[in-house]
Amino acid sequence: MISIDLNADLGEGMGTDEDLLEVVSSASIACGGHAGDAQTMRHILKICKNKGIRAGAHPGYADPKRFGRFRVVMPLDQLMGQIRSQLFLIRWIADEVGIPLSYVKLHGALANQTAEELAFAVGIFATVQAMDSKLAVLALDNSQQVRAAKAVGLPLIREAYADRAYTAKGLLVPRNEEGAVIDDTDTVIERCLRLARSSEIVARDGSVLKSAARSICLHGDTPGAVDLAREVRDALEAEDIRISPVEPEREAPLIEM
């Protein structure tokens, strides 16, 4: 049977967390950078534990006023400190709740920058690896995130987006461009089914991208997000596609840490 993981970014103050946790199999939890605090993290982690949902950290630029969606120029060691602080906090709360923290997924501008810039991504993921070499990276497939995760030897989960348009290079179309977010339910469902069955994504220019992604992100910050997530899950299960967390890929590091 084909399996696919459904993940959502949670703890971002959208009011959809509990409903989305009825649908997804993995939860990427904001950990105090762009959004979230100890209370929201603890609440979501408890639900994940009770429902058997895989929990991950969702760090980003510590810029809540702009929701972490703008690149911030700062010394690299300052940025690393922000990421370490966010991961320390959510890992401490996860230990308190009694649920393992399984992966890290970067948020917003930080995710886009690491998807494009290999050296930058290696620096970010080396910070994660130094904290916990067992944490997987939930990474945009075919991006520099994948190469960086392999370079530092972190386990890898390849991700695709149900409701975001892709460039011909396999990166996400910037949100400030028209058509970057796909809100047509039938189109989103068709994309998810095609990815699950054929490992393909159609880019904005019509070109077909091959993708090994087995985790699909369902955003919680768009209108109708919960209904869309439910329809995606129903459509996948109707095709005998099982919704379940996928095992990370594990390789030896390509660079010495």
Query: What is residue 94's predicted lDDT score, i.e. its pLDDT?
Result: 98
pLDDT tens per residue across span 187-223: 999 999 999 999 999 999 999 999 999 999 998 777 7
Tokens of 154: 């972190």
pLDDT category, 257, cuts 50, 70, 90? very low
Going by the DSSP 8-state scheme, the letter that residue 103 receives in this structure is E
Query: What is residue 251's predicted lDDT score, i.e. its pLDDT?
Result: 75
Determine what percent of the chain falls in helix, strand and coil, rounding each to the nearest 5. Answer: 40, 20, 40
Residues 28 and 56 sit within 8 Å (Cβ to Cβ): yes
pLDDT tens per residue across span 126-181: 999 999 999 999 999 999 999 999 999 999 999 999 899 999 999 999 998 999 99
Query: What is residue 254's predicted lDDT score, i.e. its pLDDT?
Result: 62
Query: What is residue 220's predicted lDDT score, i.e. its pLDDT?
Result: 79
- CATH of span 3-243: 3.20.20.370
Query: What is residue 221's predicted lDDT score, i.e. its pLDDT?
Result: 76
Distance separating alpha carbons of residues 6 and 218, to the nearest angstrom = 7
Distance separating alpha carbons of residues 113 and 207, to the nearest angstrom = 23
Q: Is the pLDDT of residue 114 over 50?
A: yes
- The DSSP H or E segment spanning 44 is helix 38-51
Q: Is the pLDDT of residue 252 over 90?
A: no
Q: Is the pLDDT of residue 68 over 60?
A: yes
CA nearest to 30, candidates 76, 65, 62, 70: 62
Going by the DSSP 8-state scheme, the letter that residue 74 receives in this structure is -
pLDDT tens per residue across span 13-56: 999 999 999 999 999 999 999 999 999 999 999 999 999 999 99
State mean pLDDT over 95-115. 97
Residues 60 and 106 sit within 8 Å (Cβ to Cβ): yes
State mean pLDDT over 63-91. 96
Q: Is 33 exposed, middle or buried (0-12, 13-18, 19+ CB in 10 A)?
A: buried
User: Within a 10 A sphere around the Cβ of 237, how many other Cβ atoms?
Assistant: 12
Query: Which single residue is written with the structure tokens 């911030």?
Result: 72
Q: Where are the domains of the chain?
A: 3-243
Q: Could you tell me whether strands 54-58 and 101-104 are parallel, antiparallel, or unpaired per DSSP bridges?
A: parallel
Give the percent of the chain with pLDDT over 90: 92
